[in-house]
Structure 1
Amino acid sequence: MIITTTPSVEGKEIEAYLDIVFGEVISGVNFLKDFKAGLSNFFGGRSSSYEDELIHARQQAIAEMKQRAAALGANAIVGVDIDYEVLGSDNGMLMVTASGTAVCVK
């Protein structure tokens, strides 16, 4: 499956636009990750626990979007956009949404 942020696939002709597809992931950030991130914030440096969670959530959202596109018979997704949001009263949840247009290319 071809996935691109551009509205077309260079060198390929889009035969059919099938539908908009989404992949959504909501992931909780637990106490241990919060504690480790707090230490990184205090002492300086990067928070690998949050970075790992973000990478994993993004990969899951893209995989879900690909599955939904494949179920429509698509062989590509164009115009992909990935959005991030924090949810909850204590910002303890991370939401990642991947969206794009499922298409068939030659």
Structure 2
Amino acid sequence: MLLTTTHVLQGRTYEELGLAEGATIQTVHFGKDFMNGLKTLVGGELTSYCEMMEKARVIATDRLIACAEKMGADAVIGVSYTTNSIASSAAEILAYGTAIRFTDGK
């Protein structure tokens, strides 16, 4: 499955199938959340949150691809990600774009 952030694919003809999306909400273990709270006092990277967000991006992307495949898509163009804080240690990540099917036979 081709994923691209561009909104137009030059040199290809295709039909737009509609919005494809994938989302997840992730959180960290209470102990890690507590330790991250202490880390904010001294500064530095909050590695468990970074790991949580990376895992969330992978899950959201996999769900985006599954949604596009169910639509019969060959690719998703205009792929974007957005995130929202759900609670103090939980975040939602949404991956979305336009599912397309190539019509030029390439």
Please indicate, yes or no, whether the TM-score normalized by the shorter chain is above 0.5: yes
Unaligned runs of 5+ in 2: none
Output the aligned Cα RMSD. Answer: 1.4
Partner of 2:95: 98
- Runs of 4+ aligned structure 1 residues displaced above 3 Å come to none
Q: Secondary structure of 2:53's match?
A: helix
The question of whether the paired residues in 2 share the 8 Å contact of 1:78 and 1:100 is answered with yes
Q: How many angstroms does 1:80 deviate by?
A: 0.9
Q: Secondary structure of 2:94's match?
A: strand
Q: Which amino acid aligns with 1:8?
A: V
Q: How many angstroms does 1:92 deviate by?
A: 3.1
The answer to whether structure 1 residue 29 and structure 2 residue 28 are counterparts is: yes
Unaligned runs of 5+ in 1: none
Q: After superposition, give the CA deviation of every residue in 1:32-84 in whole Å (9 maximum; x if it has no partner).
A: 22122123212221011000000100110011000110111111100111001
State percent identity of aligned pairs. 32
State how many pairs are aligned. Answer: 103
Flag the 1:36–1:9 CA change in 2: closer, same or farther, 3 A. farther
Normalised by the length of structure 2, the TM-score is: 0.87
Q: Secondary structure of 2:19's match?
A: strand
The answer to whether structure 1 residue 69 and structure 2 residue 68 are counterparts is: yes
Partner of 2:52: 53
The question of whether the paired residues in 1 share the 8 Å contact of 2:28 and 2:48 is answered with no
Please give the alpha-carbon distance, in whole angstroms, between the structure 2 residues aligned to 1:45 and 1:69: 38
The question of whether the paired residues in 2 share the 8 Å contact of 1:78 and 1:101 is answered with yes
